[in-house]
């Protein structure tokens, strides 16, 4: 189990239509000092619970009766009273095809439902600290899903014009969107990890993005990366 972090206890809401899943995740979080502020069995209950308890993180299932996790995520992240709350999507091993929509809605990442206790705790703490949970292998699979979408991609909004970025920042964003980690970015660009982190921070600030998940989404919606083009995905074979 991960080491406990000193300071105020993190607070979480668990939304899943399976009681055993909620109980199991709740026990794992509580054992590591993370308070479970509320549980919800559907999206509407999740929205109400978040507005009532103002948690740091929500573990949100996608497929639930009534309001699903995607709509619940949209409502939570669009609500000014829920500012500061992060959402982690729960999905199956095969990657539910709704995951991309959930990330577009503003989720900070996702977990597979067979996640280990250690990774569950680490993910909650990581997302609460302001980072995003998007592993390179999962990024690649999301890209493949996105490439299969038949509907037109929405265009980036004017205030997120990529012309605000320097050539180096555009290069960092393109590689970030292919699923490279900070360490891989540093190695590929011959930069220090600290410099890479600085570039990413500036990209997020200039484009008014919450985290690297939103940066990945924007890179595809703006046309910076072309889904299905292997030239845009260095080392893609590693992630298949």
Confidence of residue 8 (pLDDT cuts 50, 70, 90): low
d(CA 42, CA 174): 36
Is 234 a residue whose pLDDT tops 60?
no
d(CA 201, CA 215): 11
d(CA 115, CA 117): 7
Is 222 a residue whose pLDDT tops 60?
yes
d(CA 45, CA 127): 22
Is 191 a residue whose pLDDT tops 70?
yes
Confidence of residue 107 (pLDDT cuts 50, 70, 90): confident
Q: What angle do CA 225, 230, 236 make, to 5 degrees?
A: 100
What does the pLDDT read at residue 157? 44
The 3-state DSSP class for residue 58 equals strand
> How much of the chain exceeds pLDDT 70, in percent?
74
What does the pLDDT read at residue 235? 41
pLDDT in tens, 53-99: 999 999 999 989 999 999 999 999 988 888 889 999 887 755 666 76
User: Quick one: average pLDDT of 216-239?
Assistant: 60
d(CA 19, CA 218): 35
Between the two ends of the chain, the Cα-to-Cα distance in Å is: 29
pLDDT in tens, 136-181: 556 666 666 655 554 444 444 444 578 889 999 999 999 888 777 7
d(CA 171, CA 169): 5
d(CA 154, CA 135): 24
């Amino acid at each position: 189990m991960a080491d406990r972090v000193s300071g105020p206890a993190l607070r979480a809401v668990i939304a899943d239509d399976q009681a055993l899943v909620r109980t199991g995740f709740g026990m794992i979080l509580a054992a590591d000092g993370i308070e479970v502020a509320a549980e919800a069995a559907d999206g509407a209950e999740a929205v109400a619970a978040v507005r009532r308890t103002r948690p740091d993180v929500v573990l949100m299932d996608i497929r639930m009766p009534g309001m699903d996790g995607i709509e619940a995520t949209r409502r939570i992240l669009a609500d000014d009273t829920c500012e500061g709350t992060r959402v982690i999507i729960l999905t199956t091993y095969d990657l539910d095809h709704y995951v991309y929509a959930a990330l577009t809605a503003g989720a900070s990442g996702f977990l597979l439902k067979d996640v280990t206790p250690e990774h569950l705790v680490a993910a909650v703490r990581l997302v609460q600290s302001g980072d995003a949970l998007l592993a390179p292998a999962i990024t690649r699979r999301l890209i493949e899903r996105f490439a299969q979408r038949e509907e037109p991609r929405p265009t980036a909004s004017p205030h997120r014009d990529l012309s605000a970025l320097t050539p180096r920042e555009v290069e960092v964003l393109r590689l970030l969107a292919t699923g490279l980690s900070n360490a891989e970015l540093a190695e590929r660009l011959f930069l220090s990890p600290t410099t890479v982190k600085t570039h990413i921070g500036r990209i997020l600030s200039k484009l008014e993005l919450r985290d690297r998940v939103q940066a990945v989404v924007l890179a595809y919606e703006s046309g910076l990366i072309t889904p299905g083009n292997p030239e845009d995905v260095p080392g893609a074979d590693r992630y298949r």
